[in-house]
Amino acid sequence: MHIKINYPLKNFNTFGIALNAPFFSSFTDEQELLSLLNYVKAGQKEVLILGGGSNVLFTKQPQDWILKNEIKHFEIAEDSKDYAIVKSGAGNIWHEFVLETLKHNLFGLENLSLIPGCVGAAPMQNIGAYGVEIKSTFHHLDAIEIATMKNVSFNNQECKFGYRESVFKNIYKKKYVITHVYFKLSKIFQANIEYGAIKEQLTAMGIEKPTAKDVSNAVIAIRQSKLPDPKVLGNAGSFFKNPTISNEQFLPLKEKFPNMVSYPVANNEVKIAAGWLIEQCGLKGFRENDYGVHKNQALVLVNYGNASGSEIFQLSEMVIENVKSKFGITLEREVNIY
């Protein structure tokens, strides 16, 4: 167990915010985690678990003891004719895990290729992209409850997955450390390529009947062409969720703004592309000092180098106010603010 004091976090959050952790340690198994939790409790500190740091914004000097999850594990926990249940350590890199499942000819995660971060954070916000969310393949997870240090499991229903939501992002925030995640993956591939530009990308690649690996490659190509690489430009992906509004609220807005980008969802509700709303406020490409709104994707706030977390947070406030005043819609942050 190695405990680092006053440890720089710049390389541990994809926004590249330069703050120091008062105490920082990593753990590679449950035993090490339990020892660290004992230490943290003895010092009457709180714990913040970090995976890849691709969905956090540090706005002030952290007070918590930061524990980086490095539990690496890959196992076919159950094998049957049509499916397998795969167990992954929470510290595995998500994209590497997806590629490993494809190597084993297990399907269902291919549309989620190249999402940054670790497996343990995936259930936090039911990660989703290109028409797929993990809730459709998530089986259960193992976690340690911080208060009692007991092992617990959560099945799919108990996680209460929603759009970029789960119990871990709200009522159980900072209450559990997710240690392993299990996915039920199919041995029969069914392409899910209706969403966005996947079909066009496959056509451009000369592929008519895609394999799962082809779909993964197409998603990788689209993502690399559209999204800023955090290694080059600090960001945490979409800063805001796409808001869902009632048909009642939507219809007059659509009359006033006929080009509004929207998608019908269940229960007479409509999802609005938040990036479009921000762009209409004239904020796409906005920059002041080292913080700004990305020039190609208005949903992404960026750090050009030395922005502070509080500057980026203030920018998000400004975006929310502008969208509220023009459209009457309140944007909700997707990124976890600390």
Is residue 301 a contact point for ligand NAP (CB under 6 A)? no
User: Is residue 283 involved in binding ligand FAD (CB under 6 A)?
Assistant: no
**Positions in 29-58 near ligand FAD (CB under 6 A):** 48-56
Contact residue for ligand FAD among 25, 26, 59, 69 (CB under 6 A): 69
CB of 83 to ligand FAD, least distance (A): 24
Examine residue 297 and tell whether it contacts ligand NAP (CB under 6 A).
yes
Smaller CB separation from ligand NAP, 207 or 273: 273
Instruction: Look up 194 and say whether it is catalytic.
Output: no
Q: Which does 54 bind (CB under 5 to 8 A by kind): ligand FAD, ligand NAP, none?
A: ligand FAD
Q: CA–CA distance from 263 to each of 148, 268, 270 (Å)? A: 43, 11, 6
What residue has token string 């197409």?
Answer: 218
Among 62, 89, 108, 120, binds ligand FAD (CB under 6 A): 120
- Does 196 bind ligand NAP (CB under 6 A)? Our answer is yes
Residue 133 or 311 with smaller CB distance to ligand NAP: 133
* Residue 118 binds ligand FAD, judged by CB under 6 A: yes
Determine, following the binding rule CB under 6 A, whether residue 96 of this chain makes contact with ligand NAP.
Answer: no
Query: Which one of residues 51, 237, 243, 292 is an interface residue with ligand NAP (CB under 6 A)?
Result: 237
Q: Please identify, among the stretches 78-86, 112-120, 246-254, 280-288, the one whose residues bind ligand FAD according to the rule CB under 6 A.
A: 112-120
| Tokens representing residue 206 in the block | 């000369």
Q: Please tell me whether residue 167 binds ligand FAD under the rule CB under 6 A.
A: no
- Footprint on residues 146-165 left by ligand FAD (CB under 6 A): 164
Q: Does the annotation count 334 as an active-site position? A: yes
Span of 145-153, 176-184, 246-254, 264-272 interacting with ligand FAD by CB under 6 A: 176-184
Q: Tell how far CA 169 is from the center of its chain.
A: 11
Phi, psi of 269 (to 5 degrees): -120, 160
- Is 238 considered catalytic here? yes
| Nearer CB in complex with ligand FAD: 50/106 | 50
Return the residues of window 201-230 that contact ligand FAD according to CB under 6 A.
227, 230
Q: Binding of ligand FAD at residue 88 (CB under 6 A)?
A: no
Task: Locate 16 and state its tokens.
Answer: 């590249």
Tell whether residue 303 is a contact of ligand NAP (CB under 6 A).
no
Kindly report the three-state secondary structure assignment for every residue of the chain: CCCEEEEECHHHCCCCCCCEEEEEEEECCHHHHHHHHHHHHHCCCCEEEECCCCCEECCCCCCCEEEEECCCCEEEEEECCCEEEEEEECCCEHHHHHHHHHHCCCECCHHHCCCCCEHHHCCCCCCEECCEEHHHCEEEEEEEECCCCCEEEEECHHHCCECCECHHHCCCCCCEEEEEEEEEEECCCCCCCCCCCHHHHHHHCCCCCCCHHHHHHHHHHHHHHHCCCCCCCEEEEECECCCEEEHHHHHHHHHHCCCCCEEEECCCEEEECHHHHHHHCCCCCCEECCEEECCCCCCEEEECCCCCHHHHHHHHHHHHHHHHHHHCCCCCECCEEC
Active-site annotation holder among 25, 133, 164, 262: 164
Q: Annotated active-site positions, please?
A: 164, 238, 334
Binding site for ligand NAP (CB under 6 A): 128-130, 195-196, 226-227, 237-238, 242, 263, 273, 275, 297, 334
